[in-house]
Amino acid sequence: MRAALLDWFAANGRDLPWRRTRDPYAILVSEVMLQQTQVERVVPRYLRFLERWPRVEELAAATTAEVIVEWQGLGYNRRAVSLHGAARAIAARGWPDDLTTLVGVGPYTAAAVANFAFGRDVLPLDTNVRRVRERTGHEFDARCAQALFDLGATVCLARIPRCGVCPLAASCPSRGRRYAPLRRQPRFEGSFRQRRANALRAVAAGRDPADPEAVAALARDGLLTDNGALPAAPRPRP
């Protein structure tokens, strides 16, 4: 299975900009952006973000407002604040051996940066990787990570997998199965999430958000202070 997967990836792998670098900062930016955001939306924003802040020290020197404004359209603004805090920690002390000590970096993101930037023998377990492993019953090694990402995203789909074009189908015990539809996320347009996003965008731009309920919710989540201002980026841990 491993050989078939890697042969397929060599011919069909997606050409993504973060796959052309081993820079841990660039890879961290891509992984944070890709959390709950589609690849197609991330690519242009990733390129623009790195054009503005090509080095971790430059992102660390930016203000929280600048980072949040640049992040608009990617959703889940807490990720921007956490990325800014991680950049400040890295600029102050360098890259830690334990990447999960960086604010906003959990086990998956730590494993992805460790693998793709530092060449460590660790397999990042995202939804696509878990799905392929569960359906095939096969344990793949760290070198298979990008191939598993692409297979899960384009062939071994959540509901109706494309078994007819899957390089692993011949040995897959789940071949031909169909799965229940996933629960859809509520619409963003007209939602309270949109109001929160609009309020945060207004504060970052120096305007009155004119939505006390949204401001209060943002403050409860730590994205604004109690008086409705942007918080400072998290301080690097001693």
Same domain for 170 and 105: no
Q: What is the pLDDT of residue 157?
A: 95
Q: Which two tokens stand for residue 223?
A: 């994205």
CA 2 from centroid of its chain's CA atoms: 26
Does the residue 159 lie in any domain?
yes
Same domain for 141 and 172: yes
Q: Which residue has the higher pLDDT, 207 or 133?
A: 133
Which residue do the tokens 């090694």 mark? 141
Q: What is the pLDDT of residue 188?
A: 67
Does the residue 202 lie in any domain?
no
The secondary structure of 109-157, three-state, reads HHHHHHHHCCCCCCCCCCHHHHHHHHHHCCCCCHHHHHHHHHHHHHCCC
Under 8 Å between Cβ of 220 and 199 = no
- Please write the tens of the pLDDT for every residue from 23-68: 999 999 999 999 989 999 999 999 999 999 999 999 999 998 899 8
Q: Which two tokens stand for residue 122?
A: 């660790």
CATH of residue 107's domain is: 1.10.340.30
Q: Which residues are catalytic?
A: 31
CATH of residue 141's domain is: 1.10.1670.10
Q: Which residue has the higher pLDDT, 227 or 152?
A: 152
C-alpha 179/C-alpha 200 separation (Å) is 38
Is the confidence at residue 128, as pLDDT, over 60? Answer: yes
Q: What is the pLDDT of residue 191?
A: 81
Q: Where are the alpha helices (DSSP H) in the chain?
A: 2-12, 24-34, 39-52, 56-61, 64-71, 78-93, 107-116, 127-136, 145-154, 192-204, 212-220
Measured at the alpha carbon of residue 160, what is the angle toward residues 156 and 163, in degrees to the nearest 5?
A: 50
Domain closes at, from 182, 201, 216 = 182
- Please write the tens of the pLDDT for every residue from 204-223: 888 888 888 888 888 887 77
Does the residue 77 lie in any domain?
yes
Q: What is the SS3 assignment for 182?
A: coil
Q: What is the SS3 assignment for 107?
A: helix
Query: Containing domain of residue 78, as a range?
Result: 12-116
Same domain for 22 and 2: no
- Please write the tens of the pLDDT for every residue from 68-119: 889 988 988 889 999 999 999 999 999 999 999 999 999 999 999 999 999 9
Q: What is the pLDDT of residue 184?
A: 66
- Please write the tens of the pLDDT for every residue from 148-199: 999 999 999 999 999 999 999 999 999 999 887 766 666 767 788 778 888 8
Contacts 24+ apart (CB under 8 A), 212-217: 217/192
Q: What is the pLDDT of residue 102?
A: 97
Same domain for 21 and 3: no
Q: What is the pLDDT of residue 217?
A: 83
What pTM value is reported for the model? 0.83
Domain closes at, from 100, 116, 132 = 116
Under 8 Å between Cβ of 5 and 148 = yes
Beta-carbon contacts of residue 192 (< 8 Å; ≥ 6 apart): 214, 217
Q: What is the SS3 assignment for 31?
A: helix
Domain count, the chain: 2
Q: What is the pLDDT of residue 87?
A: 97
